[in-house]
């Protein structure tokens, strides 16, 4: 096998192939030729470990000086060798990976790199992983944005006609599990579409516009209606945010086109609609309606169980807010910083008895109105009294003018 761009005098990497190499998947490129340098580097021109994808940089005596009359392009593609001062390297733009035996694997072009949910992803690496599945003969992975602001990975596969392929749902699940075994979660496509052939342009490149739009909905036969009130509320929120129509209890948020941005929108809506504080991490950990609903319900039950009424027949510790009030009262006795005053003009005849009954009912209803502070061993405590008589004092001004003066003073 031989590999090399024109900029390195046509060939730079070569090596023999065995039957095992050909049968195991994409054939390795080989190793650098004599007096040729081959580095697999990351974006900061640092060597990557064996088995980790990186861009291939080539150097050596066969390296061209640049592009005639194109200084800008020359500066972009021909860079200084950070490991050998005075030498230059050529950025091939090819994504490769070094094997333990030193041979290089070709994974695709770096210009297929996309950014999904904050991660930079080489779609060629996903395509290579898909080709390792026995049922897949061709693959293409790209980033789609069918709705503004919602970007997701879509995979297109051509199946081997000789393989016994299961139904669409089982196939999708199998491909998803296959990729999850070798790739991180964020590199597993949200949608898988089977096509008869990968469409190509006249130049032999993938015709992306000819690929059909994936169907980002749950499988109709496997649809399970949301059952609990929490599941129904979540399904409605997902449908609104994702624009995915009917949402089933077992539909996956990210398989429906969700990403880190829409996860923020969903968790914000959940806080408002369900009065539950969730972080986007919870959505990644529980990506289906049923699982997320179960997590929300479990949190609510735990919160209810954690708050148990304390006995009211003794001294109780102060809350943080009460501790502040107690400290300020000790620091400045008789302060009125937290005293709220107000005046109401009543028309008609006031029934003092009914007014006292109303105030007594209010105090009886709210514990905070019959709670006092005390000091024990230099520390504040609160005492919740079972009953408390709050006096209601009345005054009858001599005339309306005196009443107006009192209201203005208040």
- Does 13 map to a domain? yes
Q: What is the DSSP letter of 49?
A: P
Q: What is the DSSP letter of 213?
A: P
* CA 231 to the chain's CA centroid: 20
Where a domain ends, among 276, 306, 336? Answer: 306
- Does 224 map to a domain? no
The CATH number of whichever domain residue 293 belongs to comes to: 1.10.1200.10
Residues 128 and 89 reside in one and the same domain:
no
| Least confident range of 89-98, 174-183, 301-310 | 301-310
Residues 12 and 87 reside in one and the same domain:
yes
**Cβ–Cβ < 8 Å for 66, 18:** no
Spatial CB neighbours of 278, under 8 Å, sequence gap ≥ 6:
267, 270, 271, 296
pLDDT at 288: 87
pLDDT band of residue 222 (cuts 50, 70, 90) is: low
- Domain extent for 143: 117-210
Where a domain ends, among 288, 306, 324? Answer: 306
Residues 282 and 339 reside in one and the same domain:
no
The structure tokens listed for 336 are 């009125």
The CATH number of whichever domain residue 195 belongs to comes to: 3.30.300.30
Where a domain ends, among 210, 237, 261? Answer: 210
The CATH number of whichever domain residue 40 belongs to comes to: 2.30.38.10
pLDDT at 261: 72
What is the number of domains present in the chain?
A: 4
Residues 240 and 338 reside in one and the same domain:
no
Percent share of the chain, pLDDT over 90? 19
Tell me the average pLDDT across 139-165.
79
pLDDT band of residue 47 (cuts 50, 70, 90) is: very high
- Does 106 map to a domain? yes
- Does 215 map to a domain? no
The structure tokens listed for 270 are 């959940």
What is the rounded distance in angstroms from the CA atom of residue 391 to the CA atom of residue 356?
A: 8
Residues 352 and 333 reside in one and the same domain:
yes
Spatial CB neighbours of 43, under 8 Å, sequence gap ≥ 6:
55
Task: Name the phi and psi angles at 24, rounded to 5.
Answer: -80, -5
What is the rounded distance in angstroms from the CA atom of residue 402 to the CA atom of residue 396?
A: 10
Residues 12 and 96 reside in one and the same domain:
yes
- Is 21 exposed, middle or buried (CB count within 10 Å of its CB: 0-12, 13-18, 19+)? middle
- Does 221 map to a domain? no
Residues 162 and 79 reside in one and the same domain:
no
pLDDT band of residue 39 (cuts 50, 70, 90) is: very high
CB-CB neighbours of 154 under 10 Å: 22
What is the rounded distance in angstroms from the CA atom of residue 251 to the CA atom of residue 282?
A: 16
Q: Is the pLDDT of residue 13 over 90?
A: yes
Residues 45 and 97 reside in one and the same domain:
yes
- Does 137 map to a domain? yes
């Amino acid at each position: 096998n031989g590999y090399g761009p024109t900029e390195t005098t046509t060939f730079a990497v070569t090596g023999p192939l065995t039957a095992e190499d050909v049968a195991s998947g994409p054939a390795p490129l080989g190793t650098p030729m004599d007096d040729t340098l081959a580095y697999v580097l990351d974006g900061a021109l640092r060597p990557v470990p064996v088995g980790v994808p990186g861009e291939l940089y080539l150097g050596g005596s066969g390296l061209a000086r640049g592009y005639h009359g194109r200084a800008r392009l020359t500066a972009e593609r021909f860079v200084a060798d950070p490991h050998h001062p005075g030498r230059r390297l050529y950025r091939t733009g090819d994504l490769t990976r070094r094997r333990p035996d030193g041979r290089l694997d070709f994974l695709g072009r770096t210009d297929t790199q996309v950014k999904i949910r904050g991660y930079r992803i080489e779609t060629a690496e996903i395509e290579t992983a898909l080709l390792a599945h026995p049922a897949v003969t061709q693959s293409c992975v790209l980033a789609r944005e069918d709705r503004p602001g919602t970007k997701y990975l879509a995979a297109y596969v051509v199946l081997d006609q000789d393989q016994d392929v299961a139904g669409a749902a089982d196939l999708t699940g199998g491909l998803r599990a296959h990729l999850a075994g070798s790739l991180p979660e964020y590199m597993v496509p949200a949608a898988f579409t089977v096509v008869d052939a990968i469409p190509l342009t006249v130049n032999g490149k993938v015709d992306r516009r000819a690929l059909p739009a994936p169907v980002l909905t749950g499988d109709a036969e496997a649809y399970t209606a949301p059952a609990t009130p929490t599941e129904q509320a979540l399904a409605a929120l997902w449908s609104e945010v994702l624009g995915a129509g009917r949402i089933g209890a077992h539909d996956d948020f990210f398989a429906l086109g969700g990403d880190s941005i829409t996860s923020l929108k969903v968790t914000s809506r959940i806080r408002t609609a369900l009065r539950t504080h969730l972080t986007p991490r919870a959505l990644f950990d529980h990506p289906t309606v049923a699982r997320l609903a179960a997590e929300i319900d479990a949190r609510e039950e735990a919160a209810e169980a954690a708050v148990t009424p304390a006995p009211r027949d003794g001294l109780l510790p102060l809350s943080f807010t009460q501790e502040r009030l107690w400290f300020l009262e000790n620091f400045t006795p008789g302060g009125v910083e937290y005293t709220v005053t107000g005046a109401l003009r009543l028309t008609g005849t006031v029934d003092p008895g009914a007014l006292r009954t109303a105030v007594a009912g209010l105090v009886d209803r709210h514990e905070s109105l019959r709670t006092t502070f005390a000091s024990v061993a230099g520390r504040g405590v609160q005492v919740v009294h079972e009953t408390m008589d709050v006096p209601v004092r009345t005054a009858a001004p001599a005339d309306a003018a005196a009443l107006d003066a009192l209201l203005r003073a208040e």
